[in-house]
Structures are given as C-alpha cells and as structure tokens.
Structure 1
Amino acid sequence: MNSAAHSPRLRRGATTLLAALALAITPAAAASAFPGADSLDPVVPGPLPSVPSLDVERYAGTWLQVAAVPQLFSLDCARDTRATYGIIGEGQVSVNNECTTWTGDTNTIEGVATVTDANTNASLQVAFPSVPFQLPEGLPNYVVTFIDDDYSLAIVGDPARSSGFVLSRTPDLSDQQWRNVRDIVASRGWNPCFFLTTPAAGGKNVIQPLCTV
C-alpha cells in the first residue's frame, strides 16, 4: 500500500477524510442526528455479536464497501473499495481487497480468511501475509453481525468495534436502505456517526457521516 506521506494529493485526501471523521464524532453531530442521544447513560457493549448462521458459499463473490469506520490502512483509498471472496476449502476463504487511490491508481492486497467459529461460520480471522503483526491464530477480527436474507447487504466488524464495514452487492442503496443500515449499526453498539460513506461509481459520490445520510 502507498503511504499518505508520499503524495501531496493523497495527503489532501487523507486530511479531508480525517476532517470529516472529526465532524462525525462531535457530540453536536450525534445529538442532531439522534435527538436525546446526549442524555443517554454511557453503556459499554459486549463483543460484537455475529449472525446465528452464515452460508459461506453464498457470502462469496464481490462486495462493494458503501460505508466504513476509517482505518489507517485505508486512508489512501478514495473510492470504489471492494472485497472479493472465494472458497479455498473447508473453513477457508480467499480475500482480494481493491480500491482506487486519491491519485487514481489501484491498490490491491490479498489474504486468507479462516473460520474461527464452526457453529455459525460468521466469525473469521483475516490474515494478509504482507502485513506484519498479525493476530494470534484462532482469534477473530472479522465478524458478520448482519446479513440480508438475499445476501445483498452485510455489516461486519471486529469484536471490539474498532472497525466496521457496510458491504453491498450494488453501490446504489435507497434512502430506506440507508436508514435501515443506520439503525442496524446503532443496534449493534456502534455510533453511526463513526461510519463514513464510501464514494463509488453508480452510488454515493461524497464522504459523509452515516448518521447524516
């Protein structure tokens, strides 16, 4: 992956992204999006719950990221972020992540996801050989916490909710779908203002907090 320090355009893009995130997490933004939220007592949620059962074969294929909690490793991704999953064998899935950078280049990284909960198939550990400091074997960092009945929309994150991704088979969500996504994200213990929309061809072309969509 390219570093944000290597390109003035990339630095400007990363700065814009971080500024949007700063707006997203202000109490005022949260209060305006969810009236009365500032009066709620703080609650520390447990680990992110998974769906009761995931059909891994149906889950395979290409997903478009339509919103996500910004991560350091993705700051150089400007738009058209996607993940393609393929079945390798029992309990193992190939991972190919791709995005268009702020300079118009394409970034890709490949890895392997291993199911860590055979009862649900919905908790996995994703590992990228080119990335140092991987999790110890057997610990999940990818939990499918929501999947639509037709496997057209998914919400995933790590158990501690430091990451979160809204994935769709198509880039164009309706207003009602965005509202549903926002409600589901909140019900799973995230602040929806922490999620930023991901620009994509045929979908949203702006970066904005999910709580304002």
Structure 2
Amino acid sequence: MKMLFKSFFVVAALATISLTITARAETVAPQAVDQIDIQKYAGKWYEIAHLPMYFQRKCIANISAEYRLNDDQTVNVLNRCRTASGEMISSEGVAYAQNKGNSKLKVSFLPKGLRWIPFTKGHYWVLRVDPEYKVALVGGPSNKYLWILSREPKLDEATYQSYLDTAKHYGYDVTKLIKLPH
C-alpha cells in the first residue's frame, strides 16, 4: 500500500509539472504591435477590465482614459473614475513614445516638475488594437498590468473573449481581471 501511494504521488507530481511546462510553453512574452496611428488612438476609451493595481484601488465604476497628442509629440493622458462616495476622481499624466511605431509608451503621472526622476514611468504597450481602433489590449513587458479598453462603455462577449485569449497567449492571469460597471 505504501509503495502504491508513493507511485501515485510521483505520477501526480510529474503530471502537474508536465501541465505547468505545457501551459508556459503555449504563452509568449508580451509584444507590442508594430505601430499604431496615434491620431486614431487618441480620444476617449472606456475601461472594460483591468488587473488589480494600487492606483485604481478607489475606483468602483466609470473608468475611462482620454489621450490627446501634444505639440511636442508626447501624449496627454487623463484617467477618470467614480469612487464609492460617488465622487469622480482623475489623474493627469504624459506618455512618451519608446519606439517609432508609438505602440510602446512610458507614462508618468508625477507633477510636471518631477517627471525627470528615473524609474517613475510605467510601461504602456498596445498589445492589440482592432483596425477601426474600437478595442485595445494594453499591458507591458511584464504580466503585471493589463487593460482591455473600448470606445464604447460595453463590449460584446465574443470580442471580450477574443481579447482575453490574446492576453492568455501573452501569459496574463485573466482570472484576476476586474470588470467594473459604466
């Protein structure tokens, strides 16, 4: 009986390791699209879902982001959301292109005078965007941050699932995504 239990334990452990390796082999590191048309990308986006993050801890509904191209080719970023008290809060920042295609940005929400401080900008990579610029998947080189954005406050289930599949392919844990109402 003891030998049977040990054999079962070894087989179960090997199966678990094999499944883990297989799951990881099916994912790839996040990759930004080659390029985006920043003029088409600009405008208002509604957040459909995001991975939990400190900066959004007070948000319970109506999360949106607005992007506007500045004269110096940076992008003005205005994030808004509703808190539990009903208050609308916002955070304004600036995004700096990190590649010629404008699909890899670094974003800072520090006050203008402090944006020079190293290591204070977050990655903002457009991982997927549909040809009409109606839906986007945004993340970074790690699997720490992820957002699904839409030009409309609601996204049909088939499109949502398709963007989840892309996120899974890049190794994101989509079981942790938070969807808040609009």
The alpha-carbon distance between structure 1 residues 140 and 54, as it changes in their structure 2 partners (threshold 3 A), is farther
Show the 5 A alignment for 1:122-201.
122-130=103-111, 136=118, 141-200=123-182
The alpha-carbon distance between structure 1 residues 133 and 87, as it changes in their structure 2 partners (threshold 3 A), is closer
Letter in 2 for 1:129: L
Unaligned runs of 5+ in 2: 1-15
Instruction: Give the TM-score normalised by structure 1.
Output: 0.69
Is the partner of 2:60 in helix, strand or coil?
strand
Contact 1:112 / 1:128 at 8 angstroms: preserved in 2? yes
Unaligned runs of 5+ in 1: 1-35, 201-213
Q: Which moved more, 1:176-185 or 1:61-70?
A: 176-185
Count of matched residue positions in the alignment of Structure 1 and Structure 2: 163
Letter in 2 for 1:180: S
The alpha-carbon distance between structure 1 residues 98 and 165, as it changes in their structure 2 partners (threshold 3 A), is same
Instruction: After superposition, give the CA deviation of every residue in 1:151-210 in whole Å (9 maximum; x if it has no partner).
Output: 00001012112110000000121121122122111122212112121211xxxxxxxxxx
Measure how far apart 1:73 and its partner are. Answer: 1.1
Task: Pick one of 32, 50, 55 that aligns with 2:37.
Answer: 55
Show the 5 A alignment for 1:7-156.
39-41=19-21, 43=24, 47-118=29-100, 120-130=101-111, 136=118, 141-156=123-138
Contact 2:127 / 2:139 at 8 angstroms: preserved in 1? yes
Contact 1:65 / 1:81 at 8 angstroms: preserved in 2? yes
Measure how far apart 1:129 and its partner are. Answer: 2.1
Letter in 2 for 1:124: L
Measure how far apart 1:140 and its partner are. Answer: 6.0
Instruction: Give the TM-score normalised by structure 2.
Output: 0.80
Over 4 Å off, 4+ runs? 44-47, 131-135, 137-140
The alpha-carbon distance between structure 1 residues 76 and 172, as it changes in their structure 2 partners (threshold 3 A), is same
Instruction: After superposition, give the CA deviation of every residue in 1:103-153 in whole Å (9 maximum; x if it has no partner).
Output: 1001111111010112x2100010112498987379761100000110000
* 2:11 aligned partner: none
Instruction: Indicate the percent of aligned positions where both proteins have the same amino acid.
Output: 26
Letter in 2 for 1:39: L
Supply the distance in 2 between the matched residues of 1:149 and 1:88 (Cα, whole angstroms): 23
Contact 1:54 / 1:122 at 8 angstroms: preserved in 2? yes
Is the partner of 1:198 in helix, strand or coil?
coil
Aligned-residue Cα RMSD (Å) equals: 2.7
